Amino acid sequence: MRIEELEHLSGEPGFWDKPERAQTLLKEQKRLKNLVGAYDAQVQALSDALVLLELAEDASDEPSGKEAVEMVEKAKAALDDLEFKRMLPGEFDASGAILEISAGAGGVDASDWAHMLMRMILRYCERKGWKTEVLEETFAEEAGIKGATIMVDGDYAYGLLKAEDGVHRLVRVSPFDQQGRRQTSFAAIRVTPDIDDDIKVEINEGDLRIDTYRAGGAGGQHVNKTDSAVRITHAPTGIVVQCQNERSQHANKDRAFKLLRARIYEYEVAKREAKAAEEAKARLKIEWGSQIRSYVLFPYQQVADHRTDLKTSRVDDVLDGDLDELIRTYLLQKSATA
């Protein structure tokens, strides 16, 4: 059993000689113990529900019977969720995630749509109990955002959120069109695993261009008056990362380097999987024909995932972060065809 193996390793002399490796192993041990503990808790909940159901039937106690049924349904849903997580075997599926949201074709509607997607993702993370941090947010001139970077800390955040990687299409009557015409706009979400610090990523400082600039904001007292924001460009790959959330330039630089490590690691993994280097660093065009999902608000209400053909009319719920059905369907289908 992996937990026993990790307990044995943690008790060996010299375990802490490599602190970064030790921390990674202890983190894995904690995650596995949490899974086992959660499973045991739901098995106990099922047992308690069956006892309560028997007592309710003997006493003809209808309220207690309903309570027992609710307990069974909750335990079953929790066990289904644990089984689903077990089906995420990727190297970084249990890790945190870094999301980059970018406005695409569609003008001001696209910027507004990017902001709506950002809220959708943040609400989903909130529902999951994950911790989020907005590392960078670039506001558009009229409404919405040009782009944003979000760090998500939570078990299986990357494994689940990778289902959102791609171009998202919105169809609605534009609130920015005085003639009330229907507008189609696009925005993209890119998801990268938040890799551990002990994973070695070679970065030659001579290949980097580091620029500092004044962090933007909504205006007024939120405008930063110093050049604290940091942008790093990696010349060999063309990868660009930036961070402006922290107050100090030093803190933003540390965050930006963390993002860069994750992006370069992703790039190298893509090459090892025999993908062309150009494909690994090229961004999908955020326009017609490239979308993974469409959100239609007019003339009818529907969210359609083009990878699974799943459709739902619960548009408001989805935009409020209720993404479980869409994400689970995609990941289960992908697992079945892998």
pTM of the model: 0.75
Domain boundary among 21, 53, 86: 86
Residue 210 lies in a domain: yes
C-alpha span between 160 and 193 (Å, rounded): 11
User: Can you tell me the mean pLDDT for 242-248?
Assistant: 88
Residues 275 and 168 in one domain: no
Residues 227 and 300 in one domain: no
Residues 111 and 186 in one domain: yes
Residues 81 and 109 in one domain: no
Residue 129 lies in a domain: yes
Per-residue model confidence as pLDDT tens digits over 153-164: 998 999 999 999
The pLDDT of residue 18 is above 90? no
Residue 50 lies in a domain: yes
Domain boundary among 25, 53, 86: 86
Residue 92 lies in a domain: no
From the CB of residue 337, how many other CB atoms can be counted at a distance below 10 Å? 6
Residues 185 and 289 in one domain: yes
Domain boundary among 30, 64, 86: 86
Q: What is the pLDDT of residue 17?
A: 83
285 three-state secondary structure = coil
Residues 185 and 78 in one domain: no
* Bond preceding residue 89 cis, omega within 30 of 0: no
Q: What is the pLDDT of residue 222?
A: 45
Residues 255 and 306 in one domain: no
What is the extent of the structural domain holding 253? 205-279
C-alpha span between 320 and 287 (Å, rounded): 24
Per-residue model confidence as pLDDT tens digits over 19-33: 777 877 787 787 778
Question: In which band, very low, low, confident or very high, does the pLDDT at 35 lie, cut at 50, 70 and 90?
Answer: confident
Q: Return the CATH number at 119.
A: 3.30.70.1660
Residue with tokens 């494994």: 159
* Burial of 92 from C-beta contacts in 10 A (0-12 / 13-18 / 19+): buried
Residues 7 and 46 in one domain: yes
Residue 91 lies in a domain: no
From the CB of residue 101, how many other CB atoms can be counted at a distance below 10 Å? 25
Mean pLDDT of the chain: 87
Q: What is the pLDDT of residue 26?
A: 81
- Residue 238 contacts by C-beta under 8 Å, 6 or more apart in sequence? 281
Closest alpha carbon to 281 in 190, 205, 196: 190
Q: Return the CATH number at 273.
A: 3.30.160.20
Per-residue model confidence as pLDDT tens digits over 298-329: 999 999 999 999 999 999 999 999 999 999 99
Q: How far is CA 317 from the centre of its chain?
A: 18
Residues 291 and 274 in one domain: no
Residues 11 and 141 in one domain: no
Residue 248 lies in a domain: yes
**Encoded tokens for 12:** 């060996």
Q: Looking at per-residue confidence, does 102 or 216 come out higher? A: 102
Residue 199 lies in a domain: no
> Domain count of the chain?
3
C-alpha span between 85 and 38 (Å, rounded): 12
Report DSSP letters for 104-165, one per residue: -SSHHHHHHHHHHHHHHHHHHHHHHT-EEEEEEEEE-SSSSEEEEEEEEESTTHHHHHGGG-
Residues 221 and 177 in one domain: no
Residues 142 and 290 in one domain: yes
The pLDDT of residue 203 is above 60? yes
The pLDDT of residue 221 is above 80? no
In one-letter notation, the amino acid at residue 287 is E
Residue 198 lies in a domain: no
